[in-house]
């Protein structure tokens, strides 16, 4: 009995396969991959995504045609954003911990290789010449093994030295995903995907179908993610990290700080701001990209308020 299951917590997994039972080529053909860490077949990046029903059903039919008994169980209930984010953070921390441990192992391995390299030649006096021909062959072979071992130790050391940067990069990438401007662009992209799914659903023939179930699963997942990200944006707005700049308070010729640079406003639109580039064209950014404002209107208003208070 082979069971193909899908949940948003675990993704798409296959139970009941054995090595050499003929299932591997079939599953691989339909997009499944072997996960050594859990010793199961599954679909990559299927956790917290709608089930890929077409691939799952095609794999199940192919397995049945090959003589296997197969059951399929799909639970496409999306998890809330807080749970998804916490779960993803936990997995990232586990990977970072694993990387740190790997770095320690590589450092120890490098030290051992260099020690072994030195031990090979420590009994040879400094400056001892290598005799020509067969008389010096053993000496020459020993030197070559020592050099090869030292080179391998240096290669391993470079791998260990790269791991802290990989861990730091993982932290930066995770922090970037939580930035309000990145969240806003993600929401816009997902909302566009939902509109595309709605158009495709409208073109489908009436009645149930696997394609309709696939679209509806994708749509439900996207709506859950959008709702959670909008809650994060609202929290950032209340904390003053997002949403304080718009066409209501930004005017033509004002200066706005975008990606660390002050740029002059050419046009303030409903969802974007166009700024100068120093060339004949302009750049367009979403309002979530604006991190600062130098506005003569605001400065004049603040000055007038200050003078009134003084009077």
Compute the average pLDDT of residues 191-198. 97
| Residue 158: alpha-carbon gap to chain centroid | 25
Is there a contact between 256 and 247 (Cβ–Cβ < 8 Å)?
Answer: no
| Kind plus residue range of the DSSP H or E element containing 14 | strand 11-15
Compute the average pLDDT of residues 275-299. 85
For residue 74, list its beta bridge partners.
6
pLDDT tens column, 85-131:
999 999 999 999 999 999 999 999 999 999 999 999 888 887 778 77
Largest CA distance in the chain: 104
Cα atoms in the Cβ-side hemisphere of radius 13 Å centred on 227: 12
Compute the average pLDDT of residues 235-255. 86
CB atoms within 10 A of CB 250: 19
**pTM as predicted:** 0.77
pLDDT category of residue 47 using cuts at 50, 70 and 90: very high
Summary mean pLDDT of the chain: 90
What pLDDT is stored for residue 217 in this prediction? 95
């Amino acid at each position: 009995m082979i069971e193909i299951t899908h949940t948003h917590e675990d993704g798409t997994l296959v139970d009941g396969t054995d090595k050499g039972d003929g299932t591997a080529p079939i599953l691989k053909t339909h997009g499944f991959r072997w996960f050594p860490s859990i010793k199961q077949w599954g679909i990559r990046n299927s956790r917290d995504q709608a089930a890929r029903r077409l691939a799952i059903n095609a794999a199940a039919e192919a397995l049945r045609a090959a003589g296997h008994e197969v059951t399929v169980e799909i639970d496409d209930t999306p998890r809330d954003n807080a749970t998804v984010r916490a779960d993803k953070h936990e997995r990232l921390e586990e990977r970072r911990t694993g990387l740190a441990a790997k770095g320690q192992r590589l450092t120890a391995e490098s030290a051992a290789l260099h020690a072994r390299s030195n031990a090979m030649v420590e009994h040879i006096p400094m400056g001892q010449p290598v005799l020509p021909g067969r008389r010096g062959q053993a000496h020459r072979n020993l030197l070559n093994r020592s050099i090869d071992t030292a080179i391998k130790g240096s290669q391993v050391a470079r791998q260990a030295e790269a791991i802290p940067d990989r861990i730091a990069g993982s932290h930066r990438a995770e922090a970037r995903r939580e930035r309000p401007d990145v969240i806003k662009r993600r929401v816009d992209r997902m909302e566009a995907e939902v509109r595309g799914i709605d158009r495709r659903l409208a073109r489908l023939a009436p009645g149930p179908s696997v394609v309709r179930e696939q679209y509806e699963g994708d749509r439900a997942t996207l709506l859950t993610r959008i709702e959670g990200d909008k809650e994060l944006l609202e929290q950032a707005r209340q904390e003053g990290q997002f949403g304080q700049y718009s066409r209501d308070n930004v005017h033509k010729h004002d200066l706005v700080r975008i990606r660390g640079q002050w740029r002059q406003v050419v046009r303030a639109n409903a969802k974007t701001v166009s700024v100068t580039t120093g060339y004949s064209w302009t750049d367009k950014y979403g309002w979530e990209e604006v991190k600062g404002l130098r506005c003569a209107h605001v400065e004049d208003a603040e000055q007038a308020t200050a003078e009134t208070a003084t009077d």
